[in-house]
Amino acid sequence: MNKNKFLYLCLILSAFVRGNEVSFSEVTKLDADTIQISFLLEKVSYLKSYSLVNPSRLVIDVYNSKLNSEINEAYNFPVRKISATSEEGLTRIVIDLYEFVRWEKPVQIKTDKGILLNLVISKDKKLKKNTRDIVIGIDAGHGGKYPGAVGSNNILEKDVTLLIAKELERTLRDTQGYRPVMIRDGDETVSLNDRYQRARQYAADILVSVHADGFRLASVKGASVFIWSEEASSTVALNLSEKQRKRIQADIKNLKTEDFNEDQARVLYPEIYIKKIQQSEALGIKILDQLKSDPFTKIHKKNVEYADFRVLKSIDIPSVLVESGFITNPEDAERLKKKKGRRMIARSIFLGINDYFIENPIEGTFAEDNPSHLNYEIQKGDVLSEIAIRFGVTVESISKTNNLDNKSIYPGQIIKIEI
């Protein structure tokens, strides 16, 4: 490494570490079986959290931080002890446990005092290991004062993307082992920087951004899947990212320096970033494969595309952008205006995500056991034919797997869906 580059790295590193102190905050009882352990950070941080067995414990590594004072707190069942040590800019928080617990990936919440790092733990006697849900960040493109593209039938991209996102959220929410988090929940204006920042704060394992853009030629149609690259790979990608780039420039001015800076982090952790690109590609391929087998959706590009979409820029969260189609094309606009068409996009994304995690399981999640089925919780108003469409299976197969015959289903019932 030459001297200038070295000095530059030192500068970035010192800017990163400065002022990021970690301190213990409190333990809150959320209900009879659930507690929340909180720490205080000065900045949104790059975290790694995982569980260990024998003895059972949870670990949170806070990168580029230091402890304000050593933490060593005894606590009640199921927590034995909460402790933390800091070495060479890495703070390691360890939660020692009496038994296995259900836990949620820690989230980072901005407050007046700083960033609250919250870890939720629940008792569950049935567990054979520490278990957590896979967190899926769902980003509905545009919103609020940015309508996105306008369809040939006057539908707005921001409405289409939110409806697809909500459809996907529903399937993930009612399928055991997944937890969806919405980057925007309603008609809200969210900057591109805030979008991947939120994905980090909500501890998303992956981020899927849903779009339905326009093109100057109404004949251009079909769905495509993008991952991030500084060099765009096709003319369409170039064209789209040009538009995006203009918006990014406006966003850069609003970049909050006290928040996590992905561009600096990419210089600091190149190996993490390279892994993220590979994972994004693997995820993109799975979603695209599902889109290809969907009879309603035509494909625009048969390979995963690369584009400079800022929303995908997180250094460690595998991120893909799904173009559901071009709403400037009359056929695509009609398809995406109808629930049937939007549901197919949500289904392909869901099945693609599931294929990805079964093939690349995260430790301590349901996907690790290489399951042959998903567990779905019946909701009020559910009918088997709709569930079948949601998962791309037949009513007959659901009936057979669950011995339903002509028995009726009821809310709260867990049924198996063969995958």
Residues of this chain that interact with Zn ion (CB under 5 A) are 141, 148, 211, 213
- Min CB(240)–Zn ion separation in Å: 8
User: With respect to Zn ion, which residue has the nearer C-beta, 224 or 314?
Assistant: 224
Dist CA 21 CA 43 (whole Å): 8
Q: With CA atoms as reference, report the closest residue to 62 among 88, 37, 81, 80.
A: 88
Question: Do the beta carbons of residue 55 and residue 97 sit within 8 Å?
Answer: yes
Maximum pairwise Cα distance, the chain: 75
Dist CA 54 CA 270 (whole Å): 33
User: With respect to Zn ion, which residue has the nearer C-beta, 106 or 137?
Assistant: 137
The residue with its CB nearest to Zn ion is 211
User: With respect to Zn ion, which residue has the nearer C-beta, 57 or 211?
Assistant: 211
User: With respect to Zn ion, which residue has the nearer C-beta, 141 or 318?
Assistant: 141
Dist CA 136 CA 350 (whole Å): 10
- Min CB(289)–Zn ion separation in Å: 22
User: With respect to Zn ion, which residue has the nearer C-beta, 211 or 342?
Assistant: 211
User: With respect to Zn ion, which residue has the nearer C-beta, 243 or 338?
Assistant: 243
- Min CB(209)–Zn ion separation in Å: 8
- Min CB(281)–Zn ion separation in Å: 21
User: With respect to Zn ion, which residue has the nearer C-beta, 148 or 177?
Assistant: 148
- Min CB(184)–Zn ion separation in Å: 13
Distance from the Cα of residue 331 to its chain's centroid: 30
| Sheet of strand 57-63, all strands in order from the earlier edge strand to the far edge | 47-52, 57-63, 90-97, 79-87, 71-74
3-state secondary structure at position 342: helix
Radius of gyration of the chain (CA): 22
- Min CB(297)–Zn ion separation in Å: 17
- Min CB(295)–Zn ion separation in Å: 25
Dist CA 295 CA 21 (whole Å): 53
Check residue 278 and report its DSSP letter: H
Assigned token pair, 262? 């992905």
